[in-house]
Structure 1
Amino acid sequence: MKELQFNRHRRLRSNASMRALVRETHLHKEDLIYPIFIIDGEQVKNEVSSMPGVFQISMDNLRTEMEEVTGLGIKSVILFGVPHEHDKDEQGTGAFDHNGLVQQATRFIKKEFPEVIVIADTCLCEYTSHGHCGIVEDGKILNDASLDLLAKTAISQAEAGADIIAPSNMMDGFVTAIRAGLDEAGYVDIPIMSYAVKYSSAFYGPFREAANGAPQFGDRKTYQMDPGNRIEAFREAESDVVEGADFLIVKPALSYMDIIRDLKNNFTLPVVAYNVSGEYSMIKGAALNGWIDEKAIVIEMLTGFKRAGADLIITYHAKDVARWINEEK
């Protein structure tokens, strides 16, 4: 029989140590950003029904939460405020209140856990009575009139000690407005982690329960991107780069890994994958029913985000992943 000529790729898969030796993409605890929902009140720890393992917590429970987060080796968190309905108004003034929920939580974390990177989600939707990310007039979301409020919110968060400002509103010009506001207020060294490419996605459903931030009318399709568009992502990201962004977020992540790779190939800023609530809930739900191996699937998914080009990952799985990584050492 004539000798066959072919490559023996399996030589590098022969055992676990060999596979680890040649592995191209690695997931580290330093890659993870953990979202925390701060709710008004005392002794509150509400599990989000559609997001098992994720809680709305009051300020008096934040120390315990942060002790767990830091004990696991997670070095970055992103904060969301969850005010009561009666504290919301048309302009979302709670977003830029000196004693707002995100501001209080930021001051606490930076005092008690100074080594942690605090990222402040900068939007109005959790604080507006109508649930939209900007000022509404006659049923229309006003772009330019909303920019001043977003800049005020970013400045108040920087004053509270936020290390990074993360505007998620998708108003045109939001990065340049926030950069100008921060610079004028003396916060020239505070970076902006822009939600540069944010799609109008069905995967956000559970988050709206967690943040109590569903729109009271209509939807967000006039300011968030159409899921069918790819070239538009280049335009959105390029605008934010020119306007002064320091990080570029792609949200959601799982259905948009091609966009993560596109941004990584075309821009030099760090790319952040937002592993959103619906992606989390699908896996958690299936795992609780015993249908999947949760650890294997989560690690594979997050490694996929890294392979696609993400430098960082915002994920509700962060504590579990950090725990799994620790167990392997």
Structure 2
Amino acid sequence: MNPLQFKRHRRLRKTESMRSLVRETYLHKEDLIYPIFVVEGSGVKNAVASMPGVHQVSLDYLAEEMTELEHLGVRSVIVFGVPNEKDAVGTQAYHNEGIVQQAIRYIKKEHTSLTVIADTCLCQYTDHGHCGVIRNGDIANDESLELITKTAVTQAEAGADVIAPSNMMDGFVAAIRKGLDEAGYSQIPVMSYAVKYASAFYGPFRDAAHSSPQFGDRRAYQMDPANRLEALREAESDIEEGADFLIVKPALSYLDIMRELKDRYHLPLVAYNVSGEYSMIKAAAQNGWVNEQEIVLEKLTSMKRAGADLIVTYFAKDVARYLEK
């Protein structure tokens, strides 16, 4: 008889089959949302230097990309546009023949099994790189809401299944919900970037989307990374305004925020595994410093464990392949 009194937790870790039997958190292909960058022109497949494996593609390459995703079992995409022309008010964001609108129409016609989420913002389309209209050196909140609402409506008209506004203007969910409803799209859900921090992890994305601010930064409208309670206020406001999903961006440094949101609210929660998080792992793996598959699966599982129902990730194709093994 053992004279010591203690619990033997290792009994449930002895074999892989036992570990699998008691595993609490699982990652599924259906959890994954793949971001895609669509550019104007034809025959374009530009590698993003800071994001190995990620490309900007023209419309004629979408068939290849979407077919691969369907084959892998990834069911959702979020579409970002990179226009040739930019101006002070981001006209191409809400043009009926804008690059995102064209991409949505193609995907919904030819790849009907996919859920198409439209990133709804102005920063890729403005010549100053900010997420709204500039007035006296500042972002004019309410005037910007009008343009982001126009963008959402044209994306819904093109066939988007979900509208995902990311500009962090006050009232953006309320404005978009009202605009969609009045235009006859009351059935289209809003996936709000409810909690979006002014993060250093966005750098590679700005290479891919050509969306770097030409002056200043976005700290006046994106959140201070030091703040927790502010995230709860932001999420609560978006829920009151009609959001159907909540996004936390970035994911890895804000797992605590995801857990709090999941415990408090009951909407589907989306983790955005952002470009910097992706590129750091890719770089380390290329140098042989980490096992890419193991670290990616561990990282994404941590997001699910923290409460994420869905994950936007540039690793979506890789993870789908890992899960097949």
TM-score, reference length from structure 2: 0.99
How much has 1:138 moved relative to structure 2?
A: 2.0
Other-structure match for 1:32: 32
Note if 1:170 corresponds to 2:168.
yes
Secondary structure, aligned partner of 1:292: coil
2:223 & 2:140 partners in 1: Cα distance? Answer: 17
> Which residue identity does 2:234 align to in structure 1?
E
Secondary structure, aligned partner of 2:163: strand
Name whichever of 276-285 and 132-141 sits farther off: 132-141
Other-structure match for 1:91: 89
Other-structure match for 2:256: 258
Other-structure match for 1:214: 212
2:256 & 2:30 partners in 1: Cα distance? Answer: 23
Other-structure match for 1:80: 80
Task: Map 1:285-304; keep pairs closer than 5 Å.
Answer: 285-304=283-302
2:243 & 2:2 partners in 1: Cα distance? Answer: 61
> Which residue identity does 1:74 align to in structure 2?
V
For each residue in 1:108-146, what CA deviation from the matched residue of structure 2 results, as whole angstroms up to 9, or x when unmatched? 110111110000000000000100000001211110110
How much has 1:326 moved relative to structure 2?
A: 1.2
Other-structure match for 2:157: 159
Other-structure match for 1:64: 64
1:80 & 1:219 partners in 2: Cα distance? Answer: 20
Task: Map 1:194-205; keep pairs closer than 5 Å.
Answer: 194-205=192-203
C-alpha RMSD of matched pairs (Å)? 0.8
For each residue in 1:205-224, what CA deviation from the matched residue of structure 2 results, as whole angstroms up to 9, or x when unmatched? 00000000000100000000
1:140 & 1:151 partners in 2: Cα distance? Answer: 20
Other-structure match for 1:6: 6
Other-structure match for 2:281: 283
Other-structure match for 1:110: 108
TM-score, reference length from structure 1: 0.98
1:45 & 1:285 partners in 2: Cα distance? Answer: 21
Task: Map 1:218-229; keep pairs closer than 5 Å.
Answer: 218-229=216-227
**Long gaps (5+) in structure 1:** none
How much has 1:277 moved relative to structure 2?
A: 0.2
Other-structure match for 2:16: 16
How much has 1:243 moved relative to structure 2?
A: 0.1
How much has 1:8 moved relative to structure 2?
A: 1.1
Other-structure match for 2:246: 248
Name whichever of 14-23 and 193-202 sits farther off: 14-23
1:2 & 1:75 partners in 2: Cα distance? Answer: 53
2:248 & 2:140 partners in 1: Cα distance? Answer: 24
For each residue in 1:240-263, what CA deviation from the matched residue of structure 2 results, as whole angstroms up to 9, or x when unmatched? 000000000000000000000010
Other-structure match for 2:178: 180
1:174 & 1:11 partners in 2: Cα distance? Answer: 51
How much has 1:37 moved relative to structure 2?
A: 0.2
**Long gaps (5+) in structure 2:** none
- 1:14/1:100 Cα in 2 relative to 1: closer, same or farther (>3 Å)? same
Task: Map 1:316-327; keep pairs closer than 5 Å.
Answer: 316-327=314-325
How much has 1:5 moved relative to structure 2?
A: 1.6
For each residue in 1:72-116, what CA deviation from the matched residue of structure 2 results, as whole angstroms up to 9, or x when unmatched? 0000000000112xx101110100111111111101110111110
1:326 & 1:164 partners in 2: Cα distance? Answer: 28
Note if 1:233 corresponds to 2:231.
yes
2:126 & 2:70 partners in 1: Cα distance? Answer: 32
> Which residue identity does 2:154 align to in structure 1?
S
- 1:11/1:164 Cα in 2 relative to 1: closer, same or farther (>3 Å)? same
Secondary structure, aligned partner of 2:187: coil
2:6 & 2:86 partners in 1: Cα distance? Answer: 67
How much has 1:2 moved relative to structure 2?
A: 6.3
Work out the percentage of aligned pairs sharing the same amino acid: 69
